[in-house]
Amino acid sequence: MAAYGEFAWFYDEFNGEADYQALFDYVHGELEANGVAGGLLADLGCGTGDLTLMLSQAGYDVIGIDRSPEMLSVFREKADELGLSGKVLLLCQDILSMELYGTIRAAVSTFDTFNHIGPIQQFEKAVRQAAFFMEKGGVFLFDLNTPYKHEQILGDNAYTIEAPDARCDWQNHYDPAGWVDMQLTITDVPSENYAASCLLSDGDEAIAAILPTDPGTYQLTIAMSGDDSYTGSGQFTFTIPE
């Protein structure tokens, strides 16, 4: 999976409903239950760092690892605000080939990071890479979205996530062969003053009725389907001059 890039700047807005306190309580409880009450811990795919920083505040020596420099930039700003910059080591690395400076007591990976790694061979490689740096008796906690969730819950559904400064349109396509295609369209809400949609099958008049007439730059997204299933989409930008 490609790094998040500019999506990093919107990530926290779209992830606003995540219950980090509950996640921390669970992860912390599992670590302690398995004898890891402190020591060096790596957060694989740490993103913008909310959980990582909570683990640091709980007394762990934390390494945050992510392949997205933009995500780590947001993370670094949060650490600065909390006065934790000198307590958290950030590494811009791919977890498939990460290199640490020694061994760790534990590793965590949340928000289905391991779902995005790719084929089973890469998944196994990532687990082996984490195990390679793990002390004997160490603990690795990670979560996954199951095939049931992708097929029965996400399926070919579309979702819209609203945030104060942006909107994310999320289209899923489930391939029975086991692949999931997710298309995310991010709209910067403050610069948007128009939104409308219709089906192409509604005809020319319906399409003409939703097209903007005011001067400005607009983005047109066309989602395509065949045999009652989503097959892809195209995006086009056009400008109406003043």
Report the CATH number at residue 114: 3.40.50.150
Of the pLDDT bands very low, low, confident and very high (cuts 50, 70, 90), residue 223 is low
Tokens 């709980």 locate to: 58
Residues 80, 161, single domain; the answer is no
What pLDDT score does 241 carry? 74
Query: What is the residue range of 65's domain?
Result: 5-142
CA distance 108 to 49: 12
Residue that finishes a domain, picked among 142, 166, 199: 142
Torsion sign across C-alpha atoms 36, 76, 114, 9: positive
Number of domains in the chain: 2
Residues 104, 70, single domain; the answer is yes
Residue 83 pLDDT > 60: yes
Of the pLDDT bands very low, low, confident and very high (cuts 50, 70, 90), residue 41 is very high
Residue 238 pLDDT > 80: no
Q: Give the tens place of pLDDT for each residue, 169-212.
A: 778 888 887 677 777 676 765 555 555 666 656 666 766 676 66
Residue 60 pLDDT > 80: yes
Choose among 35, 52, 50, 94: nearest CA to 69. 94
What pLDDT score does 180 carry? 75
Residues 163, 231, single domain; the answer is yes
Residues 152, 204, single domain; the answer is yes
Mean pLDDT of 133-161: 87
pLDDT mean across residues, the chain: 81
Predicted TM-score (pTM) of the model is 0.72
Residues 127, 35, single domain; the answer is yes
Helix (H) or strand (E) holding 14: helix 8-14
